[in-house]
Each structure stands twice: as C-alpha cells, then as structure tokens.
Amino acid sequence: MATPLQANQLALAPLGAGDLIDRAVRLYRRHFWTLIRIAAPPVLVSTVGTLLLTVSSYSAAVELRRGDVGLTLLLFVVNLMLNVIVMGGAARNLITHLLWNEPFSARATYRNVRARLGALLGASVIVAFWLFLAMFLALFAWALAIQIFLMGGYAAVGIHNRWIAYAAAIIGVLAMSFLALLLFFLMVKFIVYVPQVLMVEGRGVFDSVGRSFTLAKGNLRRLMAMSLFHWVAAYSAWTILIIPLMVYGWVQGVEISPNRALTWPMWYAVGYNVVTQASTILLSPVSMLGLSLMYVDERVRQEGYDIELLAARQLAPMPNVHAAPSVVAAATAAAAARPAQVSPRPKYNSPGSPLGLR
C-alpha cells in the first residue's frame, strides 16, 4: 500500500515561474528514461507518418509535393491529440508519485490511458480545436494590426530620416507580434489543465473543460514563461542535433536552407525529419511536467490543498462522541497503538479530496 511522502519531500507552496521550471528540470533529470519511454510512442507515430509522407512525395512530381501541406497539418493534429492523451495518463501517475510515493513508470502511465481512453480522446479533440482557434484568432489579429500599422506608415512618408522610419517599423512589428502572442496565450491558458483534471479528479470531458477554465486564473505569466523555456530548450536541442547533418549535407552540395526543402535529396529530408522528431522526444516531457506542477500549484493557491494534505497526514480519525467514554478511550488507545495507515483510494475519484488522490 502506498504511503504519503514526508512533508519536507514535496513542499506544497505557491510557486513562481522560476520555481516551476526548476522543479520540472529536476524531475526530468531524475526520471529521464521513464519520461523518454512515455513520450516516445506518440512521437514515433508522428515520425512514421512524416517519413511515409516524405518518401511518397519523392516518388511523385515536384508539383504534387506542394499539396502535402494538408497531410502535414493532419499529422500535426494527430500528434497533438496523442500528446494530450499521453499527458493525461502521465499527469495522474506523476502526481500520485509526488504526493503518495507511488511508482512512476511508463507502464502505469499507459495503464491510466487505457482506463479512460474514450474520455481522453474527446478531451484531445476539444483541446486541439481550441488551440487552432486561438492560433487563427492570434494570426488574424496580428495581420490586421500589421495592415493598420503599415497604413499609418504610409501616412508618415514625410519623415526625412529613414533610420527613424526603419526603427519605428521594427518596433511596431515587434509590438504587434507580442500582442498577438499574448492573445494566443490568453486563450490557451483556459484549457491547459483539461487532461490533468480529467485523469486526476475523474471528471467528465465537458466538466473537465469547465474546471480547467476555473483553475486558469492568474496563470498567464507562468504559462508564458514555461512555454518560452520549452521553446528555447527545444530549439537548442534541435540545433545541437541538426548541425552535424547540415554540415555533412553542405559538404555534399545540398542547399541546406529550409526555404529550399523541395530541392533536398531524399536522404537529407529523411535525416532532417528524424532529427526533428528526436528533439521532440527529448523535450516534450518538460511540458507535461511543467503543466502537472502548475495544476497542483493552482490547487494550492485557490483551494488550500496543502492544508488538506497536511491534515490528512497528521490528524487521527475523529472519535465517536455518542459512544460510552470507556469505549472512546479504548478506541483511542487502540488507534494510538496501531501504525499510521492510509485508506485505499478509489481508482479515479473521491469526494473527500479535491484532487481525488485518496
């Protein structure tokens, strides 16, 4: 039977962005191979699809290869849904490991996934739709703002110093890009806890979406910081892995610029895709760890889960006040003599705990 961790092993306190990133990195280092095994299956599915698409495109005319955008988008959606599904199973496994010292393993993660595969599939569809809606609105707002800014720039052609005009254009584009990115994260933040709520609290799909909306208060800066860290780390890993391939391709006379991808030989295109997917396997667990820690942190901030967990660890059961004093004394003495135990928990939900972990 699993026993709770000691209080000093998991300090349940409100965490800032830096603390969340630090804990995610430490957990990543501690469970590196387990996390790689968890992240590998969905990425391998995407890798196989990408490789098949690449090979098939080289067997067709170059003009037909331009029509692969739709299939690439479909592969991206499938990969996103698979990652959401796996994230749900891993989040429950990780949280029970952190709070109750249960084993953290790929087998336990995929056992959780099988138990609620239908609900996770529905949640992944909703998350994917919401992400694409947020992306579309952010890009639309960015394009509209750029057009308005350019129209204003045409009205200011009377500026004689071209360096001032260039600087104003660059600052304006950067400002519009930041505002579009902010709009994207303002929408995305509402659905980042859907797989965690569904698996940890045992709620339904739409109830999990509503619950994620409720928990999303005040998490914008931490979500943006976590996403920025993940993007920088992923780009760094990709750069380290891709440089040897690019150098070898350049020596062989390959136009290594991504803008010339249609001219790449098959071996270089396949190697490029494999390296890209390898960097995804290495870094995708960071997002899962960060979002799971943010989920627990939101419960601590909004619902005082740290107090509830501490009480569950420290307090003995309440005696029956309606029993005779001798019975109460005997029961109290017997309870004091017995070692502390944790009552078995139901599989997914428990009305006595907001996290459903007891």
In this structure, what DSSP letter does residue 340 have? P
Residue labelled with tokens 């990408």: 50
- Is position 322 within any domain? no
- Is position 211 within any domain? yes
How many angstroms separate the Cα of 336 from the Cα of each of 1, 210, 325, 332?
20, 43, 16, 6
- Is position 117 within any domain? yes
Residues of the domain holding 203: 28-308
Tens of each residue's pLDDT in the chain, 358 residues: 444 444 334 555 667 778 888 888 888 988 899 988 888 888 888 777 777 777 766 655 444 444 456 666 777 778 788 888 888 888 888 888 877 778 888 888 898 899 889 999 999 999 999 999 999 999 998 888 777 776 665 555 555 566 776 777 778 788 888 888 999 999 999 999 999 889 888 888 999 999 899 888 878 888 888 888 888 888 888 889 889 999 998 888 888 887 777 788 888 888 888 888 888 888 888 888 888 888 888 887 777 655 655 555 544 444 444 444 444 444 445 445 544 444 444 344 433 344 444 4
Q: How many domains does the chain have?
A: 1
One-letter identity of residue 36 = I
- Is position 12 within any domain? no
DSSP assignment of 53-72 equals HHHHHHTS-HHHHGGGHHHH
Determine contact, residues 124/80, Cβ cutoff 8 Å.
Answer: yes
Distance CA 177, CA 139 (A): 9
**232, two tokens:** 């920088």
- Is position 131 within any domain? yes
- Is position 52 within any domain? yes
- Is position 109 within any domain? yes
